[in-house]
Structure 1
Amino acid sequence: MPGQQQGGFGQPGYPQGGFGQPQGGFAGGMQPGMPGFAPGQQGQAPYQQRGAASYMTMDDVVVKTSISIVTVIAAAIATWVLVPLDMMIGVAIGGALIGFVLGMVNAFKRNPSGPLVLAYAIAEGVFLGGISGLFEMMYPGIVVQAMLGTMGVFVGMLIVYRTGAIRVTPKFQRWLAAALIGALVLMLFNLGYFLFTGEASLLRDGGPLAIGFSILMIGIAAFTLLADFDLAEQAIRRGAPKNFAWGIAFGLLASLVWLYIEILRLLSYFRE
C-alpha cells in the first residue's frame, strides 16, 4: 500500500512507530522467528483494526514468563530432593543435553509453542537442580547467593532498560550478536579441552583469568536481558499474536539460566 513502511515482523504494512525499524532480540543468544501478521491501515496499529484479545499484551508476557520460571524452580527442587547424590551428575548432564536440543527447537521455531517452552523449562530445571545440589554440597549457602545475585541482575537490567540508560540500538544488537558468537566459541573450546585432557582450561580453573571470563559471561548474559525486554515492547507495539509471549518467555528463561550458572560458577571461585 503506498505510504506504508516495511514492517519488522515479516509482513508489509506496519507503520513506522517511535522505535523506528524494529530490531531483532537475542534470547540467550537466540530468539524464535516472529510470525507474520495481517497488515494494518496506514497510521494505525494492527490492534486497532482487529480484536484486541488476539494480540499480545505485557500481562501475557509476565504470566507466561512466570509460569516458565516456576516450572524451572519446581523441576530443580524435585531433582535436588528426589535424585540420589551419586546419580545427580548424570541426571544433570541428561537434563542439559535435552535442554540444549529443546532450546534449539524453540529458538528456530517460527511459531512459539507453550508446551515446548515448558518442556525446555523442565529439562533446564533438572539440570539446575543437579548442578545446584552438587555445588551446595561443596559450598554450603552458595545456591541462595547465586539466586539472589541473579534476581539482582535481572531487576538492575530492567531498571536500566526502563530508564533508557542503555538503549537497544542497531549497533548494540550487532555488538551483542558478535559477543554471543564469541562466548559460544569459547564455551565449546572449554568443553573440548576438558573432554580431551580431563582438566579445566585456564578460562575455567578458578584463577584470575577464569574469574575475569566469568564476569565477562555474566555481563553478556545481562545484556541479553535488555534485548529481550526490547523485543517484548516492540512486539506489543506492533501487534504480535498472543502466543508470541511464549517466545519472549523462552528468551528470558534462557538468559536467566545462563546468568545463574555463571554467577554460581563465579561464587565457587571465590569460595575456593
Structure 2
Amino acid sequence: MYNQPSAGPVDTGRVTMDDVIMKTMGLFALVLGFGAVGWVVSAANPQIGFMLWMGGMIATLILGLVIAFKKTLSVPLIVGYAVVEGLFVGAVSQFFEQQWDGVVPLAAMATAGTFIGMFLAYKVGLIKVTAKFRRIVTMMIFGYAIFAVINFIFAMVTNTPFGFGGTGWLGIGISLFAVGLASVSLALDFDMIERAIATGAPQKYSWLLAHGLIVTVVWLYIEFLRLFARMRE
C-alpha cells in the first residue's frame, strides 16, 4: 500500500483540466448542434425563427440568472442553457447572414482567432489577472449588460436595427468596445479555471467553468456579428 502513488485530483474527486475541456467540448457540441437546428428552422420559417430569437434571448437571460444565483450547481440547467443558447444563436446567425451575406463565417473566424490569441496572451503572461483587474472587468460587464438591455428596448421602440449609434461611427465604436470587453472576459474565465484547479474545487464544478467559458465565447461571437454588420452598412 505504501508503494502506491499519491492520490491525484481524479482519485479525490477534484476538478482537473481534462474535466473542464471535456465538459466545454460537450456543451459546445450542443450549442453547435441546436444552432444548426435553429438555422434550418429560421431559414424555412422566418416567423418561427424570430420566435426562437426572442424566446431564446429571454430564456438564456432567465436561465443564466438562475444558474448564477442558485445555491446548488444544477447540471440539467447548464445543459438546458446550452440547448436554448444554440437555438438562439442559430436563429440570429441565419438572420444576419440573410441581411449581410458573409458576416457569419467572418464572425466565426474572428471569434476563433480572438479566443486563441487571448489564450496565448494569458498563458505567456501578457495579460495578468489580478484582484483589481477582476473587479474592474466585472463592473464593466455589469454596466454593459444594463446598457444592452436599455439599448434593446430603445431599438425595439424606435425600430432601429442596432439601437444607439446605429451604423455610424458611434455604433461601430460601441461594438468595438463590446468586442474588447468580451475578449478580456475570456482572461477571467481562464483565470477562474486555473484557480479552481489549484484550490482543488469539487469535480462537479467543472460544469460551471465550462458553462462560463461557452457563454463568453457566444457573447464574443454575437458582438462580432453586430460589428461586421454595422461596418457592412
Give the structure-2-normalised TM-score: 0.91
Number of residues of Structure 1 aligned to a counterpart in Structure 2: 226
State how far apart, in whole Å, the 2-side matches of 1:129 and 1:110 are.
31
The Cα of 1:48 is off from its aligned counterpart by 6.0
2:20 to 61, 68, 74: 61
Listed as ranges, the gaps of 5+ residues in structure 1 are 1-46
Alignment partner of 1:223 out of 177, 184, 202: 184
If you compute each CA radius of gyration, which structure gives the higher value, 1 or 2?
1
Contact 2:67 2:73 (C-alpha < 8 Å) held by counterparts? yes
* Counterpart residue identity of residue 77, structure 1: A
For residues 213 and 116 of structure 1, the distance between their equivalents in structure 2, rounded to whole angstroms, comes to: 32
Q: Which runs of 5+ in 2 are unaligned?
A: 1-5
Q: 1:118 and 1:214, CA in 2 relative to 1: closer, same or farther beyond 3 A?
A: same
Give how far 1:141 is off: 1.9
Alignment of 1:12-91 (within 5 A): 52-83=11-42, 84-91=45-52
1:49–1:226 distance in 2 versus 1, CA, 3 Å: closer
CA distance in 2 between counterparts of 1:196 and 1:80 reads 26
Q: Distance in 2 between matches of 1:135 and 1:200?
A: 11
Correspondence for 2:207: 246
The TM-score with structure 1 as length reference comes to 0.78
Task: Give the match's secondary structure for 1:206.
Answer: coil
**Distance 1:77-1:240 versus aligned 2 partners, 3 A rule:** same
Shift, 1:49, TM fit: 9.2
Which moves more between the two structures, 164-173 or 74-83? 74-83
Amino acid at match of 2:14: Y
Contact 2:118/2:187 (8 A) holds in 1: yes
Which protein is richer in helix relative to its size? 2
- Offset at residue 65 of structure 1 (A): 0.5
Residue matched to 1:212: 173
Contact 1:202 1:209 in 2 (8 A): no
Superposed, which structure 2 residues align to 1:146-185 within 5 Å? Answer: 146-185=107-146
2: CA distance, partners of 1:178 / 1:52:
38
Paired letter, 1:256? V
Asked whether the 8 Å contact 2:152–2:163 carries over to 1, the reply is: no
Does the 8 Å contact 2:155/2:163 carry over to 1? Answer: no
Alpha-carbon distance, 1:179 to partner: 0.9
In structure 2, the CA distance between the partners of 1:118 and 1:49, relative to structure 1 (3 Å rule), is: closer
**Quick one: distance in 2 between partners of 1:71 and 1:201?**
28
Aligned twin of 2:61: 100
Does structure 1 conserve the Cα–Cα contact (< 8 Å) formed by 2:41 and 2:48? no
Q: Which amino acid is the alignment partner of residue 224 of structure 1?
A: S
In the TM superposition, residue 171 of structure 1 has moved relative to its aligned partner by 1.1
Following TM superposition, by how much is the alpha carbon of 1:269 offset from its aligned partner in structure 2, in angstroms? Answer: 1.1
User: What letter corresponds to residue 35 of structure 2 in structure 1?
Assistant: A
In the aligned structure 2, how far is the partner of 1:119 from the partner of 1:174? 29
SS at match of 1:222: helix
CA-based RMSD: 1.9
Q: 1:116-155 residue pairs with structure 2 within 5 A?
A: 116-155=77-116
Q: Distance in 1 between matches of 2:46 and 2:129?
A: 43
Alpha-carbon distance change, 168 to 243 in structure 1, aligned in 2, over 3 angstroms: same
